[in-house]
Every structure is written in structure tokens, then in C-alpha cells.
Amino acid sequence: MFDSTTFAENKAIVHVNGKIIGNAVTQFRDEIEQQLQDGNNNLIIDLTDVPLLDSTALGVIIITLQVLQRSGGKLVLLNPQKAVSSVLEVTRLTSILEVYESEEAARNAFS
Amino acid sequence: MSETVYVSKVNSSTETILVVDDDTDILALLEMSLISDGFNVITASDGMEGLERAKTDLPDLILLDVMMPYMDGLQVIEKLKSDSDTSTIPIMWITAKSQTEDKLKGLETGGDDYITKPFDLREVSARINAVLGRTRPVKYINPLISAMGEGFSEEGVAELGSHLQAAAEIQMKLLPDKPPVYPGFEFATMFRSSTSVSGDLYDFIPLSETRIGVVLGDVKGHGIPAALLMVMIQTASRLLCNETDSPSTVLKRINTLLFHNTDLEQFATMVYGILELDTGLFTYANGGHCPPIHFISGKDKTDTLNHNRSKVELLETGGMLIGAFDIATFSSDTSQLSPGDVLILYTDGVTETEGVKPNDFYGEDRLIECLSRNLDQSAETLCEVLQSDLLDFSGTTQLKDDRAVVVIKRTEVN
């Protein structure tokens, strides 16, 4: 359900495919931790193919955001779909997260 | 001046009993008796229908007659016990006094208890309560077992189950046991948990003679960790809400408290508002929570053509979710409740209720539509209408997420 690519030094994009709910959240967290271990502290999470995420997954995004910020890195979200977008808006995470609609714009956020 | 104050709490702990009998007289008798004992009752008139209802409604207990056409009671028990959806539902069966064989077979197939005909209704009720008392902890623990896979011993499960049940009872006692009563307003609440303990909360905090604090929140995740945090937030809000501080100040304090005392990824969303009972002014701050909906009744006496039109206002002002970011800031806003207006605060367990079709969710639009049609009803009835619409939509009483709802109605005062 994950397909991650390191596209520049310390920079990676994680494509997620499917709902991030229940057990998938643990895998999602593992995948992100792997990226951090690999030294990628600039992360794009591609949400194009994520129809839904639950509050625990939101917790993973929040902790990732904080960990990356502390290490001088950055978290960027790419193309959240309707349901995910509305969760980000209601919780006001949009005020603190960078969200882009195209991969190019997301990559440019790091330069 | 006529003042109607109507309060209620839709009973969240009512247990549902499925009665299966082909004898309509006995069915009606049992139904009446069980309803008066405080149970929800659903009925089926033969084994096949009983099986279907069991699968769709997942009752807390099934009471069935052994002697039935098409499929006899013992076959029904066997099928229920072999289906993982229904295998843990306790089953009691009704048999004629002489049929010792039925009694044995029933027990062998996994039934929990039996009643012999002719029966005394008081005995039926006592036995049902005894069986439910034994099996209740199992029901609470089941969602956890399935989440954790194998590796539980039966004793461990039973023990954990009874702890959980105790925790759930403690938690329910922390919630207001009934909504407040004030002239000119109706309060009603609905609270249901997907497991035994809940991550949702609501509270009413009297601040002065004319002001009452209203809290509604939802802690990330569910189960025990969420419940512990819920208790923490509830305690914090009772300590931190006071007459002089604005809702945004209170949210900021709760945010700081949570941020410093929990893991980074632990968070909650909540709304805190102060209702002024003499003017209907509601001052609130929304911490990343789905916006409460203010239904403006709009009954303009000069506008007789459209006297039922209503508009809604979403209470969105506030700030981010609570407890995850130290830097979070909050602001307060006001909403004016006029006579006839209704305000609903709810958790996303309501709008994220999944429909019969996958990926079809109840949603804010349907919630607005459902309540708009019933604004002339009491707050209590609005809660009931919503609960029944949610049931219609989802087709099941099983919840995937916790649900909390507070409905406040400013009554018409002459």
C-alpha cells in the first residue's frame, strides 16, 4: 500500500494507496519511521489515492510534522481527496500543514 | 407565561432482545413483558427470519422457541453459533416441560439457558437478566479481541472484560446523569459507545445563575487510551471553566495541559461554549471539532407564506485541534439563540456513520436535513428522530465509532 521514492538528498515522496484506518495505520507509521531512519527529513505524503484516514492516522501525521520540524525538515501533503481534505480543514491542520495539489509544487516546497 | 422544560437522555445502555416464535400470541406477550422490563425488543416469526434478524440487528440476547416450522430452534442455535458474527450472542430457548432431550440438545449446541412452557413472565425476565449478567463482559471485550487477534486466555478475557465493564460504568457516571433543567430551554443528549468505554464526552457546567458551560469533545481513537484521555479532558474542563474566562482562553489552557501531559500524537477535538440563559447568547470556541449547527427557526410572524423556513449557521470559529501543538491559538465567537432555535453539538461518529453501501457516509447535509424537518419538535424528540434516522441509514445498531450529541432548544416564550 506504500510506494516510496527518494528523489533528492534527504527528500522522499511516500505514495499511499488505500484507506489509512485500523491496522493500516501501523503500517503507515512504520513506513514513515523507515523514511526518517533513512535520513529523509523532507517528506511528501501523497494522499491522491487515500479515500479516508482515521484519527489515529491523523495522529501519525501530527507527530511526523513535529518531528520533522524539530529536525529542521518539513512535511508536505499532496493532493488530499474530499474526505481527507475535510478532516484537515475541520481540525484546522490546514493552518499548520503545507498542502499542494501537484507533485511539482510539492517538490518545490523544499527548495 | 408558559414554560415547558423537557429533559431526557436517550438510554444508551438499553439491551436489545430478539424473540423468535411462530405463535403470535406468545410473541406479543413476551414482547410486551420485555419492553416493560426496559429492553428493546425485535421479533421474528420463524427460524429463517430469526437468523436474518440476528445477523442484521446483532441483538444482545436471542430468545427462541424450539418448536417452529421450516427450521426448528435447535437448528437455528446451531447456525447462529457457527457464524462468527452471531456466535457470541447469548441464546435462550423455550421448550415444553417434558422435552428433556431438547434441553440437553440446546445446551450441547451452545445455547445458554432455557425456559420451560408454561412459563412465568417474571421468571423469564429474571433468567434473561442472569444470562446477560454473565455475558455482558464478553460483549464488551469482543471488539478488543478481534482487534488484537489470538493470544487471549479465556480467563484473561473474562477478567479484562469485567474490568472494562467497571471502567465503562465509572465513565458513564462521570457524564451528567441527566441534562440540565432551565426555564426557557430544553436540553437533550445522546451518548453511545462503540466499545465499552468511550473517547467522546459531553458535560454541562453551571457557571452562575444565568450561565451554563457546555462541553462536547472527541478524543483521538477509541477504547481504553481514548477513554483515559477523555476523563482527563473532562476533569480539566470542569476545573478550568469559570464565569470570567472566555471559551477561547479555556481551550488554550486545556490545550497547554494536554500538550505537556500526553504523547505528541494524542489529541482531541472539542467545543466549549457558554450559554446565557437570560438572553440565549452562546459564546463558544471550537477546537478543530466538527462545527455545531445552529438552526435558526426563522418564524417571522409577518411572513406567513414561508413561516417554516429555517437557515443554519455553522459554529466554526476557534482554532486547531487540542493537545497536539503548543503554539495553537484560539478565538471565541457568539451565536444568538432566539426562541424556536435549535443548537446541536455532535461528534463525528454521527456524520461518519457508514451507510448500507460502502463509502457512503451520513454526513452533515443529511444531519441538517433530518433536523430541519423536525425543528418544531422538542429537544428530546430531535435526539430520537436523529437516532432513528441514523439507524435507517446504517441498517445496524453496531457502531464503528463513539457518538455523543447534545441538543439545545430555546423554547418559544410567550
Q: Using the beta-carbon criterion (under 8 Å), do B291 and A52 form an inter-chain contact?
A: no
Q: Say whether pLDDT at B370 is over 50.
A: yes
Q: What CATH number is given to the structural domain containing B310?
A: 3.60.40.10
Rounded to two decimals, the pTM is: 0.68
Q: What is the pLDDT of residue B8?
A: 33
pLDDT confidence band for B243 (50 / 70 / 90) = confident
Q: What is the pLDDT of residue B1?
A: 38
Torsion, Cα of B243, B249, B251, B256 (10° steps): -120
Q: What is the pLDDT of residue B350?
A: 93
Average pLDDT (B330-352) is: 95
Beta strands B403-410; B185-192: pairing state: antiparallel
User: In DSSP terms, which residues pair with B293 in a beta bridge?
Assistant: B314, B344
Q: Using the beta-carbon criterion (under 8 Å), do A62 and B265 form an inter-chain contact?
A: yes
Q: How far is CA B102 from the centre of its chain?
A: 38
Q: Using the beta-carbon criterion (under 8 Å), do B319 and A92 form an inter-chain contact?
A: yes
- For residue B360, give its domain range: 175-410
Beta strands B333-336; B281-287: pairing state: antiparallel
pLDDT confidence band for B276 (50 / 70 / 90) = very high
Q: What is the pLDDT of residue B345?
A: 98
Q: Of B130, B121, B127, B126, which is closest to residue B29 (Cα–Cα)?
A: B121
To the nearest whole Å, the CA of A46 is away from the closest chain B CA by: 20
Higher model confidence: residue B265 or residue B47? B47
Q: What percentage of chain B carries pLDDT values higher than 70?
A: 85
| Pair A5, A20: CB distance under 8 Å | no
Q: What is the pLDDT of residue B306?
A: 47
Are both B237 and B328 inside the same structural domain? yes
Phi (first) and psi of residue B51, to 5 degrees: -60, -45
Which residues of chain A neighbour B290 with C-beta distances below 8 Å? 90
In a domain, B401, yes or no: yes
Are both B275 and B331 inside the same structural domain? yes
Q: What is the pLDDT of residue B26?
A: 87
Are both B142 and B16 inside the same structural domain? yes
In a domain, B184, yes or no: yes
Look at B97-111, B222-236, B255-269, B282-296 and tell me which has the smallest mean pLDDT: B97-111
- DSSP letter at B182? B
Range A2-108 classified under CATH 3.40.50.300: no
In a domain, B48, yes or no: yes
| Pair B330, B255: CB distance under 8 Å | yes
CA–CA separation, B233 and B171 (whole Å): 12
In a domain, B157, yes or no: no
Kindly give the interhelix angle for B154-174 and B224-240, rounded to the nearest 10 degrees.
Answer: 20
Q: pLDDT, tens digit, for every residue of A38-87? A: 999 999 999 999 998 988 899 899 989 988 988 889 999 999 999 899 99
Determine if the peptide bond prior to B118 is cis (ω within 30°): yes
Q: Could you tell me the three cell numbers for B162?
A: 469485567
Q: What is the pLDDT of residue B97?
A: 59
**Mutation choice for B interface testing from A49, A52, A55, A71 by most B CBs within 10 A:** A55
CA–CA separation, B273 and B250 (whole Å): 10
Which residues of chain A neighbour B144 with C-beta distances below 8 Å? none
Are both B129 and B217 inside the same structural domain? no
Question: What single letter denotes the amino acid at residue B38?
Answer: G
Look at B154-158, B279-283, B372-376 and tell me which has the smallest mean pLDDT: B154-158
Are both B215 and B333 inside the same structural domain? yes
In a domain, B165, yes or no: no
Q: How many domains does the structure of chain B reveal?
A: 2
Q: Of B338, B390, B355, which is closest to residue B369 (Cα–Cα)?
A: B390
Q: pLDDT, tens digit, for every residue of B65-110? A: 888 877 788 888 888 888 888 888 889 988 875 666 777 777 777 7
CA–CA separation, B379 and B185 (whole Å): 9
Alpha helices (runs of H) in B265-378, residue ranges in sequence order: 348-351, 363-372
